[in-house]
Amino acid sequence: MRCAAPKLLSVLLASVLACAHVQALANDNDNRPRARDIGLISGVLPPGKLNAITDVNGVLVGQTTLNKGDDIRTGVTAILPHAGNLFKEKVAAAVHVGNGFGKLMGSTQISELGEIETPILLTGTLNVPRVADALLDWMLALPGNEDVRSINAVVGETNDGQLNDLRGRHVGQEQVFAALKSASNGPVEEGAVGAGTGTEAFGFKGGIGTSSRIVPESAGGYTVGVLVQTNFGGVLTMNGAPVGKELGRYYLKEALEGKKVSAHAGNSALMLTQNDPIQLDHVSDRADGSIMMIVATDAPLGSRNLERLAKRAMLGLARTGSPATNGSGDYVIAFSTAPEGRINSSDAIRETKVLGNNAMSPLFLATVEATEEAIYNSLLKAKTTTGRDGRVVEALPIDKTVDILKKYGAIK
């Protein structure tokens, strides 16, 4: 009987190691599923080959992830409408502001002129000026830009300060150049990567997500691709299933249940009851944050209809359970990669063909569906992350989520 103990210990140890291995896989971005891997299909339109924004002809994406020490959880994500010199060959574009609590650099010139002349970079809030400065260095150094005196750098953000040392402003030229140099038209890494390394969504780990849709050939056969950086809250809803509510993590939960909630004012902590005035931006079940939504299409659209397209991304956001709260920066940038729509600023007269208003509805649907699925992918692919001050943001639990989706008929 004595010799059985080592054998039993060995079996137990093997079991523990196996469980640890499974958990490690579950927390690895590469081994967590996308929405379609668990049967979660949004809408009726088919996705592109990669089900990513890079399905749109010409679009490239590159990312740099900073995951260092105990408190650096940030990065940069670069979206390039085409591989050439964007200043020399601008693309038609538009911006829609769902709720403007944010710092989207370069937005006013896009709205005024209807064009984009640099890659679109996403990062953490206080990194925006540093990232923009590096982007200017990159653009000014491109062949053909030697005499350029002004460039409108486009940089969006969400606040990753819950997990990241935001004040350290750790993203600079090295990280920006690496993201731009690595940009490709292949699969896009999702979850806790790039600009999504330190973000949080619906009380779970958020991050980068992407998806695409193809409209029927009778409607032009065009592709719409969406990439999101999620860092917001609400009541997570997936294909109509109340996932956030079932998991017990959703906006206003504590207030609705009449429980005491914590509020912080400076260094003091207050305990508020149901009848007290609640500072909703401080309670634990808050929904503030931000989301950047980048919409790309190969459909030949002018800036006016690109703005209309951008507005539909907000409908996809709403489907996931976001109310676009007061403290959330909800921004959409939409652009067209159609070669015939390229813009040379030196042209005094431009002649181009664009789709008419009556052709837009299929593209609207594609945008809504791709935005919804991109947000799901950002949550499903993101791993549990520990960051600043030892704070842990858990990944969306896959098994429990699948059970809830089956319970409500959201998946088979």
In contact, 379 and 205? CB cutoff 8 Å: yes
In whole angstroms, give the CA distance from residue 309 to residue 312: 5
CA-closest candidate to residue 48, choices 190, 212, 184, 216: 212
Catalytic residue of the set 107, 330, 336, 378: 330
Residue 94 C-alpha from the chain's centroid: 18
Active site residue 37: no
Active site annotation includes 330: yes
- Burial code of 31-41, b = ≥16 C-beta within 10 A, e = fewer? ebbbbbebebb
Burial class (CB in 10 A: 0-12, 13-18, 19+), 168: middle
Query: What does residue 379 show for φ and ψ, rounded to 5 degrees?
Result: -80, -45
DSSP 177-246: HHHHHH-BSS----BSSGGGTT-EETTEE--EEEEEEE--GGGT--EEEEEEEEE--S---BTTB-HHHH
268 is catalytic: no
- Residue 27's closest CA among 386, 400, 409, 389? 386
Please, what sign has the CA dihedral across residues 68, 73, 78, 79? positive
Catalytic residue among 212, 303, 328, 336: 328
Question: What's the distance, CA 234 to chain centroid?
Answer: 16
DSSP per-residue codes, 49-111: SSSSGGGSTT-EEEEEEEEETTTEEEEEEEEESSSS-TTTSBEEEEEEEEEE-S--BTHHHHH
Q: Give the residue from 286, 328, 287, 292 showing the smallest Cα distance to 207.
A: 292
Rounded Cα distance between 343 and 91, Å, is: 6
Do the beta carbons of residue 375 and residue 209 sit within 8 Å?
Answer: yes
Token code pair at residue 38: 């668990």
Please tell me which residue in 107, 290, 322, 378 is annotated as part of the active site: 290
Residues designated catalytic = 290, 328, 330
